[in-house]
Amino acid sequence: DGGITQSPKYLFRKEGQNVTLSCEQNLNHDAMYWYRQDPGQGLRLIYYSQIVNDFQKGDIAEGYSVSREKKESFPLTVTSAQKNPTAFYLCASARDLMNTEAFFGQGTRLTVV
């Protein structure tokens, strides 16, 4: 089945550690996105990518890094520089950046312990 797969579903991290969230899509989409969701708030854009080897910062990129070495994959690393990383992270993809609808993964809930 075509879709977006995020893993793991739940992730626990100790303070000071980097952690990488996986996002894979088999929809042949060019554009991919990472959003962060906090309780009672909407989704905020962290990073987005239009094509392989290219990505742009969103509204809250500080403390995060990404790579886009393959069309299908857009991993997000939460670094120790991110002051408040506990949140729900959603990955999305779209056919392109031309305002087509985005399809979302099931999310990764990250908790810092």
Cβ nearer to another protein, comparing 46 with 78: 46
- CA-CA distance, 91 to 2, in Å (whole number)? 15
Cβ nearer to another protein, comparing 9 with 18: 9
| Shortest separation between residue 92's beta carbon and another protein, angstroms | 8
| Shortest separation between residue 93's beta carbon and another protein, angstroms | 12
Cβ nearer to another protein, comparing 78 with 91: 91
- CA-CA distance, 14 to 18, in Å (whole number)? 9
Question: Of 107, 98, 111, 104, nearest to 37 (Cα)?
Answer: 107
Question: Of 78, 102, 90, 108, nearest to 30 (Cα)?
Answer: 102
Binding stretches for another protein (CB under 8 A): 31, 33, 35, 40-45, 48, 56, 58, 88, 90, 92, 97-107, 109
